[in-house]
């Protein structure tokens, strides 16, 4: 997992470097890099395996025109399990542990100028969610306290969002974003006893970021 994270981080930074090197000087809006903190709140009630998720991100934003742009980001976080969700199959219960996540996102965005300090931002992202599970659970058909490792597969998600940019200074931007994470392709949940229901990661998310324009 650590090797994958390092490789993906290097590839993302290379993409940022290429994008910056090819930047068109005619575009008035400057590109920016930022660090973000994102809170995920699962949105499917008792079907969720997760209680909440917390992720830190490294982000880059570029602009094709004054109002149309794109974003690239990579992050690392953990999703905490709900101890007793409605069973996701395989007669599992009493979950514990976390799901480590590495979201890699490319997005298209539109910024609506409000005044000198504020922009309204619409964002549509596509995320590949790399996951690594240290979740365990008990099985209703097994006696005693034996716990089984729960394996979880990667996912692909669509992430529409709306937010605002506050231009605190010439090169400093404070961003807020609210959106929904929709599963396009769900990973599977498995134990050594067999497969369970597909992994549901649909959630509302709230993000704040500090960005530096250059």
| pLDDT, tens digit only, all 214 positions of the chain | 545 554 555 555 555 545 545 544 455 789 999 999 999 998 665 567 898 999 999 999 999 998 999 999 999 999 999 877 765 666 788 889 999 999 999 999 999 988 889 999 999 999 999 999 999 988 888 766 889 999 999 999 999 999 999 999 989 999 999 999 999 999 998 888 888 888 889 999 999 999 999 8
Q: The domain that contains 133 carries what CATH number?
A: 2.40.160.20
CA 110 → CA 98, 146, 211, distances in Å? 35, 52, 17
CA 196 → CA 88, 90, 123, 160, distances in Å? 6, 5, 33, 28
**90 vs 199: CA distance, rounded Å:** 13
Both tokens of 109, joined, read 């965005």
Which residue range is the domain that position 66 belongs to? 2-213
Number of domains making up the chain: 1
pTM beyond cutoff 0.85: no
């Amino acid at each position: 997992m650590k090797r994958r994270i390092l490789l993906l981080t290097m590839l993302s930074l290379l993409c940022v470097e290429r994008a910056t090197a090819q930047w068109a000087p005619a575009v008035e809006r400057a590109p920016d890099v930022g660090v973000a903190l994102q809170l995920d709140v699962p949105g499917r009630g008792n079907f969720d395996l997760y209680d909440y998720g917390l992720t830190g991100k490294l982000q880059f934003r570029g602009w094709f025109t004054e109002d149309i742009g794109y974003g690239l980001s990579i992050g690392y976080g953990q999703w905490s399990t709900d101890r007793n969700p409605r069973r996701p199959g395989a007669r599992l219960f009493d979950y514990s542990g976390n799901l480590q996540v590495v979201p890699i996102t490319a997005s298209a965005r539109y910024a609506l100028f409000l005044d000198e300090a504020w922009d309204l931002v619409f964002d549509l992202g596509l995320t590949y969610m790399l996951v690594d599970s240290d979740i365990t659970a008990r099985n209703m058909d097994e006696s005693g306290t034996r716990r089984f490792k729960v394996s979880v597969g990667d996912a692909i998600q669509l992430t529409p969002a709306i937010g605002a940019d506050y231009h605190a200074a010439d090169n400093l931007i404070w961003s807020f974003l609210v959106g929904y994470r929709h599963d396009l392709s769900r990973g599977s949940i498995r134990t050594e006893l067999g497969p369970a229901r597909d992994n549901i990661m649909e959630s509302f998310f709230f993000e704040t970021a500090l960005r530096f324009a250059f």
